[in-house]
Structure 1
């Protein structure tokens, strides 16, 4: 399996992983187990996904049954926005590790560069965006630098082998590099032909920061949340279909994944369908022509479906 060597540790992160966002909670354990059986060796989770306990059960069963060894699986998780204060970071990392039945994460990311008012996990977990669990969104006055330095202590304490960031733009990335004692190993961002983020990709390569792309299929990930902004599907796009026809037996989904992975960008597709799960993993056995990569990139609409830069007017600043 193709991998990316992370800059500080040299640890090899698989180029293709299985994303746990929106994986049905009741089926997560079985889905994770089957994904590992199929050959996935990267699991991408987050506290906010609400299925880490079940994902841990699936991983534990796979280890017990000899499907994998712990050291063969690269587990990524993320710190949610309500736990950005320095006194909460390690506490929540330990809780999430307990949910996963693990002693360490291979990679732990700050999920968003947005600090929200603390919600005690005993009150509600995951707390999601809303402080009251319904409609009230409140910011917390915690600088990102404080959170990042607390993340560095996770490495010192052996709770995470690598740390990174998510949903961060170029200007914030440069600021992080000014004060980081441990440079972020990975930046995870929305990235697909409708949003190629070419300048950000180039910037990360310059500073030897690996990139993980989420929402590789563009608006398809957001249909059920009614956040697709009525942008035409990439999976049904005529241009994507025409490119896929050139590679015998390959689907538009596989071509979209290869558009990223061929350039050294990790991808983390998810599927509750086992056949598609296997197809997603096996997309790397083709090499797209550079002209086809350029054609797919030309679909750029700067269409961002998950925008951390857009502040919801319901947020009470520094509540």
Structure 2
């Protein structure tokens, strides 16, 4: 049931420009922000020089900072596309800390866009990454991408965007579950949008967080490139179009919980880098840090 309570973002400020030190502008698109065990923040993301060329996005940017607001320092790219591994591009990394190391989930593409690879690399220091020797975790379409992993109870849930059938259909947020982050269930659907197609859709960049006894799903671009809708549910794997509770002027949005406050990012093609804004939920209260 729809609610009048609204999730809202404040004013966005640019915190990182990947073009600094380059001879031409660069962009960050889908990205992830994680804090290491020394409390330093790390940003990883799709990167490429302008203008946008998504199928030539073949490396992941890396930057570090003492706080989410920066100052961010550009580091060497951490992964480059591996053609022998079957990758055709590197899209949308998502990094979590678990079991004494870091797990990076990302979309590696492949020759068949109806069976795109969801890949895994691991690291102990966030600097050096090793791809899973077993190959892709699974394959899905159309252009399955934008993974986000969250611990819920005794299982991990991976959300990602896809279509209702691998060859096309309604744009959906799919999900799979795991107990070890290596072996994943068959896919299920957390959200189905009325729109349909194959390539880019409006269920990209899914991000789910718990707050105040509810679950919030952020997806976009909706209805334009710089736009993210927010949906609320009592079930972390079941959202409906009528559950919308907010809209944020952000693209490829990621959420950060730090020092009792929520923040939301925005980035993308021709956006000049990564931007950050404060985020408020209905009935705000003290929150636990879920960004590790």
Same-fold status (TM-score > 0.5): no
Larger radius of gyration between Structure 1 and Structure 2: 1
Greater strand share, structure number: 2
